[in-house]
Structure 1
Amino acid sequence: MSTTKADRGTTGTVELSAIESDTVSRVSRRLMPLIIVLFLVAYLDRSNISVASLTMNADIGLTATAYGLGAGLFYVTYILVEVPSNVALERFGARVWIARIMITWGIVAGCMALVVGFKSFALVRLLLGAAEAGFTPGIIFYLSLWFPARHRARATAQFYVGSALATTIGAPISGAFLKLDGVGGIAGWKWLFVLEAVPAVVLAFVVLKRFTDSPKDAAWLPEENRTWLVKALATERRALESQRTFTVRQALTNPGILLLALFLFLYSFNSIGLTLWMPQVIKGTFGSPGNFTTALLTAVPYALAVVFMLLVGRSVAKRGRTHLHMAVPMAASGILLALSVAAGPTFAGFALLALSTGVAWSAIPALWQSATSFTTGVAAAAGVALINALANVAGLTVTPLIGRVKDATGGFSASLLIIAAAMLAAAVVALLSRRATSPGSLAEQVQREARTDLPQQSR
C-alpha cells in the first residue's frame, strides 16, 4: 500500500493512502479557493451595514434601537426560507442553485443604497435575508458531497475563513468606500453598498463554470481519483445508513440536531450580534477613533479568527473530540470578553475583545464536523439548514437587544456581558451534545468501516 505521512483520524493514527491524499488535494485546489471567496462576498454583503452605519444612521435618521431592529430583520426571512432552499439545492443541484442565490442577493444588496428611512431599510433587509437564505448551509452540505468525513473539518474551517476575511479585508475596504462621500453627489455609504454588491453577481457565473454537482460528474478529476472518491463516499454513506437512517422529519426533530442548533444560536450572539455592532462598539468604547481607523481596528478580531479557525480545524481533523473543540473555545471566549469589560477603554480591553472574538469563531469547524457526521442525503441537507436557521434567531433577537441596551445605558458594557454569558452557556451545551451526536462512537465507527471496506486498489 502506497501511503503518505501518517495522520491521526478520529479513531487514532491512520496513514493516508497516496490516492486519498492526491484526490483530496485535487478537490481542495479546485473548490476551496472559490468557496472561500464566495463566503467572503456573502458575509460582506450581509454585514457591511456595520461600517455603513457609521454615517448612514445619521443620514436616514436611525437610532441605535432602530438600526438594531432593522439589521436583525434580515434573519426573519433568512430563517423562514433556509430549510426549503437547502432541500431545493439537494434536488436541483448546488451549481445552479447557489448561482441563483448569488445573483438574487447581489441585486438586493445593491438596493441598500436606495434606503431613505427605517421602513425602506427594514424592507431591503427582509428581502436580502430571503435572497441569501440557503447559501451557508448549502455550501456545508456541498462540502459533505466532496470530502470524506475525516477531511471535512479542515474543509469547513477553510470555508469559514471567508467569513472572517470578509471583515478582516472588507472592513478597511468599506471604510475606504465611505471616503467616496460626495463623489457624483452620492453619499459614501451608498457607494459602499453598490460597489460591494457587484462581485456576487459576477461570481455567480464563475460558479456555473467551476462547480460540479457531484464527484461522479467531475470530468476535471482523473478517472482513478474520481473512482476512488465516489466509492469512498458511497462506502461511508452505506456504513452510516446501516446504523441510522433519518427521514427529513426525523432529522428536523433529532435531539443532536437541536442541541447543535442551540449551540450555534448561543455562538451567534458573538458571530452575528457582536459583528454587526463591532465598529460602533470600538468607536464608542475605545476613544472615538475616526471612521477609517475604526474600520481598520474592526479587522483585528477577525484576522485572529482566521488563524484560530485553521488551527482548530487541523486539530479536529487529527484528534476528533468535536465536543471539546466546541466547548473549550466558547468557555475561553466568555472569560476573555468579561475580562475585556473589566479592563475598560484601554489597550488591554481591546486586545481581550479581539482575542475573545477570534477564539469564539474557532469552534465552527468542530460544529459542522459533528453536524454532518450522523445524517445523509436530503435529511442531512435539511438538518444542516435547520441548525443554521434556528441559530440565526440570534440575529433577530440579539442585534435589536444590543441597540436597546445601548440606548438605555449609553454604552456597550452590559451587552458585552450578555454575550459573554452566552459563550459560557454554549460551552455547556457543547459538552451535553456529545451523547446525542455520538461523535465518539457512531461517526468514528462509520469512518473506520468506510476505510476498511474500500477496494484494495484505492488503498
Structure 2
Amino acid sequence: MAQPSVESQAHSQATARIVRRVTRRLLPILLLMYILAFLDRSNLGFAKDAFQADTGISEAAYALGAGIFFLGYAVFEVPSNLIMRRVGAKAWLARIMISWGIVSALMMFAHNEATFYVLRVLLGITEAGFFPGVILYLTYWIPVQHRARVNGYFYFGAPLAFILGGPMSGLLLDLDGFGGLHGWQLMFLVTGALTVLIGFVVIAFLDDGPADARWLSDEDRASLVAALESEDRDKSEHSPRGALRALTSPVVLFFCLIYCTIQASVYGVSFYLPTQVSALVGQDVGLRVGLLTAIPWVAAVVATFLLTRLADRTGRRREIAAAALAAAGVGMGASVLFESPVLALAGLSIGAAGFISVQPIFWTLPTSFLIGAAAASGIALINAVGSLGGFIAPVLKTAVDERLGDGAGMLVLGGIALLGSVLILLAKRLSRGAVEIAERTAAH
C-alpha cells in the first residue's frame, strides 16, 4: 500500500487541528441542546407513576401519549430540514428550541387524556427538525473522516440527559407540593423554561457555516471550506439529485428501516427505565432511583466514546455498528430474564451502551453519500421514519406485556434490535452499492 506523502500528511494534520477547534466551539452548545431535547421528550418516564396517580390516566393511555409524540414529529421532519437549509441553521434551531420549551412547560397542565395527547403531539411538531437539523449542520463543518467521533460527542446528550437529568427530575418529584404544584408539574415547568433560555443563547452563539466563522483564521476557514467542497464533489456522483428523489431512494428507505429498529430499542428502554429500576429496588421513583438510572447512561457514554474512535480509526463502521446494536438486544433481554437487581441493571447498562453508541456510527453511512437538498430531505426522512420506532415501542411493549406477561414486551424489543443488527450487516448487499460508496468516502 502506498504511503501518504508528506504534503498529504501535513494537510490531514491541519484539517484535524481545525476540526478540533470547531468541535470545542460548537459541541458544548449543541450537546446542551440535545440534553434538553432528550430530557423534554423522555422526562415523562420519570413522572410516569406520580403523573398517572394524580391524573388517573391509564397504562394504555400513557403508552399512547408517550408514543404519539412521534407522529407530529415524523410528519414535520422533512419540511423543517428544508426550511433550515433555506433560512439558516442558527435562526431555525433557535426557533425550534424556544417553541418546544414552551410546549414542554405547558405539560404541567396535562390533567386529562385529551390535553395529554394534544400537548404530546404539539411537542413532537415543535421539536421536529431539531435532531436531523443538527446532523445536517455537522456536515457543514466536519469532514466525514472525523464525523463518527464528533457525532459521538453530540450523542453524549442522550445519556447525559439521564445522568444529570435523572437526579434532577427525581429531586423535583420529591418537591411535590412546593408552590402548590405536584412534583411532576415542577419538573415539566423547570425543564421547559431551561430550554427556552438556551434557545436565546443559540441565536447569539452559533454560526450558519464555516464561511461565517470569524473565530477561525482566514487560512483555517478557507482550508475547511475547501475540504468540505472537495468531499461534496466526490459525493455528487452518487447522491440522489434533489430533495424529492432522496425521499423515494431505495437506499434512503433502507436506512429508514434500520434506524426504526434502533429507535424502537432506545425508547423501549428510556420510557420505562425509571419504573423498571424502581421495581427492581422496591422503591418509588425519587432521588435514589434517579441516581440508579444514571448507571446505564454512564455505560453508554463510555461505549460511545470508545466505539466512535474505533470506527474512525479502523474504518469498519458498519461492522462496529452491527455489533453495538446486537449488544443492545442482548442487554435488553437480560434485563428482564435475570431476577437479581444487579444483573438486571447490568443488562440495562449493556443495552443502553449498545443502542446509544450505534447511532453516531450509523449516521456516518447516509451522510457520506447524500449532498445538498438530498442531504436535507434524506437525513430528515431517515430520522422521521426511524423515529416511528419511538411510537411503536411503548405501544408494542404494553400490548405484548398484557398478552404474555411482564417482561415479554422487552424481549420482543430486544429481538427488534437484533434484527436491526442483521440489517446493518446486510446493508452492503441490499442498498445497491451506497454503503460501499459511503465506506470508501469515509476511508479516503
Q: TM-score range by the shorter chain?
A: over 0.9
- SS of the aligned residue for 1:369 comes to coil
Relative to structure 2, which stretch is displaced further, 326-335 or 224-233? Answer: 326-335
Q: How much does 1:437 deviate?
A: 7.1
| In 2, Cα distance between equivalents of 1:18 and 1:354 | 36
Q: 1:431 aligns with which of 417, 421, 425?
A: 425
**Aligned mates of 1:109, 1:378 — CA distance in 2:** 31
1:381 to 2:381 alignment: no
**Structure 1 counterpart of 2:328, from 333, 351, 363:** 333
356, 360, 377: which one aligns with 2:355: 360
Partner of 2:310: 315
1:189 aligns with 2:188: no
- Residue of structure 2 aligned with 1:260, choices 249, 255, 260: 255
Q: Distance in 2 between matches of 1:389 and 1:324?
A: 24
Residue 139 of structure 1 and its aligned partner are, at CA, apart by 0.1
Distance 2:339 2:289 in 1: 17
Residue 197 of structure 2 aligns with which residue?
202
- TM-score, length basis structure 2: 0.94
The answer to whether 1:53 aligns with 2:79 is: no
1:417 aligns with 2:411: yes
SS at match of 1:53: helix
The residue number in structure 2 matching 1:28 is 23
SS of corresponding position for 1:232:
helix
Q: How much does 1:246 deviate?
A: 2.5
One of 52, 66, 77 as aligned partner of 1:71: 66
Q: In structure 1, how many angstroms separate the alpha carbons of the residues matched to 2:131 and 2:25?
A: 19
Question: Within 1, Cα distance between the matches of 2:38 and 2:136?
Answer: 18
Shift of 1:445: 4.4
Instruction: Give the 3 Å change call, closer, same or farther, for CA 438–28 of structure 1 in structure 2.
Output: farther
Shift of 1:438: 4.4
CA distance in 2, matches of 1:148, 1:201: 31
AA at the equivalent of 1:163: A
CA distance in 2, matches of 1:362, 1:249: 30
**What amino acid does structure 1 have at the position aligned with 2:288?**
T
In structure 2, C-alpha distance between the alignment counterparts of 1:212 and 1:321, rounded to whole Å: 32
Q: Which residue of 169, 178, 183 corresponds with 2:164?
A: 169
Partner AA of 2:371 in structure 1: T
After superposition, what is the alpha-carbon deviation per residue over 1:35-94, rounded to whole angstroms, capped at 9, x for unaligned? 111100111111111101121111000121111111111011001111110111111110
Corresponding letter in the other structure for 2:63: G
Given candidates 34, 37, 40, the residue that maps to 1:39 is 34
Are the structure 2 counterparts of residues 409 and 56 from structure 1 closer, same or farther at C-alpha, using a change threshold of 3 Å?
A: farther
Where in structure 2 are the equivalents of 1:275-290 lying within 5 Å? Answer: 275-288=270-283, 290=285
User: What residue number does 2:100 align with?
Assistant: 105
The answer to which of 336-345 and 284-293 deviates more is 284-293
Q: Distance in 1 between matches of 2:11 and 2:162?
A: 35
**Structure 1's 343 and 16: CA in aligned 2 closer, same or farther, altered over 3 A?**
farther
Give the residue type in structure 1 aligned to 2:124. Answer: G
Q: Does the C-alpha gap of structure 1 residues 243 and 347 become closer, same or farther in structure 2, counting only changes over 3 Å?
A: closer
2-side partners of 1:264 and 1:118: how far apart?
30
Q: Paired residue for 1:221?
A: 216
- Report the 3-state secondary structure (helix = DSSP H, G, I; strand = E; otherwise coil) of the residue aligned with 1:372: helix
For 1:284, the aligned partner's letter is A
Residue from 135, 141, 149 that aligns with 1:140? 135
Tell me whether 1:159 sits opposite 2:154 in the alignment. yes
**What is the Cα deviation at residue 170 of structure 1?**
0.5
CA distance in 2, matches of 1:446, 1:339: 37
Deviation at 1:98, TM superposition (A): 0.3
| Alpha carbons 1:72, 1:400 under 8 Å: kept | yes
Change (3 A) 1:324 1:197: same
In structure 2, the partner of 1:4 is none
Helix, strand or coil at the partner of 1:204: helix
* One-letter amino acid matched to 1:165: L
Q: Which residue of 2 aligns with 1:457?
A: none
Q: Which stretch shifts more, 184-193 or 248-257?
A: 248-257
RMSD of the alignment, in Å?
A: 2.1
Structure 1 residue 27 displacement after superposition: 0.7
Judge which range, 129-138 or 179-188, deviates more.
179-188
Name the amino acid aligned to 1:306. Answer: V
Q: For residue 97 of structure 1, what is the amino acid of its counterpart?
A: W
For the structure 1 residues 244 and 393, does the alpha-carbon distance in structure 2 shift closer, same or farther, using more than 3 Å as the test?
closer
Query: What is the DSSP-based 3-state SS (H/G/I as helix, E as strand, rest coil) of the residue aligned with 1:74?
Result: helix
Q: Distance in 1 between matches of 2:325 and 2:10?
A: 32
1:240 shift after superposition: 1.6
- Contact in 2 for aligned 1:20/1:228 (Cα 8 Å): yes
> Is the 2:45–2:273 contact (alpha carbons within 8 Å) kept by the matching residues of 1?
yes
**In 2 relative to 1, CA 108–166 (structure 1 residues): closer, same or farther, beyond 3 Å?**
same
| Equivalent residues of 2:174, 2:286 under 8 A apart | no
Unmatched runs of 5 consecutive residues or more in structure 1 = 1-7, 450-459
* Number of the residue aligned with 1:116: 111
d(CA) in 2 for partners of 1:143, 1:437: 26
* Cα separation, 2, equivalents of 1:136 and 1:294: 28
Does the CA-based 8 Å contact 1:269-1:422 persist in structure 2? yes
How far did 1:448 drift? 6.9
Q: Which runs of 5 or more structure 2 residues have no equivalent in the other structure? A: none
